[in-house]
Amino acid sequence: MSSPLAATTTSGPPVSGATRMTALLVKLGEKLGFHVFTEVEASEAAWIDVVWCDPRFSKACLPNKKPKLRRAPVLPIVAFEVENKTGLNAKHVKGSVSNLNNSGAQMGVIVIGDESFALLAKQPAHATKKPQALETELLERAYRWIHAEAQPKGRIVLMSERELTEWAEREGVPANAA
């Protein structure tokens, strides 16, 4: 179910990183029946990368306008923050928690991109580790930042780009279609 301003993708060379993950989240949300918006204003200082909203409230915002979550009676169900290269930085991850708190969504999801794991692998202490070990270590570190330091108001899920891709594929949304 598409919303008026849902992100669209064009055919052409495959995209990677944050653009690919955002496009994949859009297609997955639409496949699951949500109205999907990108770059949504949750407060004056908080913008959410992708928001899946309950379609029963879709007429509450003006046609062809993205909802301002603090001003429009839309119901955000899931809000996503994509951390492609910034997943190594506690400040960025904790900022994502703050943005997700401001969204009012029932669930927030932070997706750590593959480029964050590649950057971790370049650090001398991690240079010999296998990709799965790097993913596990960074996700555990980010989990601590989220739950011990940022202390979210609601449920925050942390996942990797690989886990997002696998989820999409299980739902019948091919990752290469994003």
Domain ranges in the chain are: 17-170
Query: What 8-state DSSP symbol labels residue 42?
Result: S
Can you tell me whether residue 133 is helix, strand or coil? helix
How far is the C-alpha of 47 from the C-alpha of 148, rounded, in Å?
A: 23
pLDDT above 70 (res 39): yes
Q: Which pTM value belongs to this model?
A: 0.84
Cβ neighbours, 10 Å, residue 33: 10
Does domain 17-170 fall under CATH 3.40.1350? My reply is yes
| pLDDT tens readout for residues 107-156 | 999 999 888 877 777 777 777 878 788 888 888 988 988 888 888 999 99
Task: Give the pLDDT score at 138.
Answer: 86
Residue 90 pLDDT class (50, 70, 90 cuts): confident
Query: Is residue 170 predicted with pLDDT exceeding 50?
Result: yes
Torsional sign, CA 80, 85, 88, 92: negative
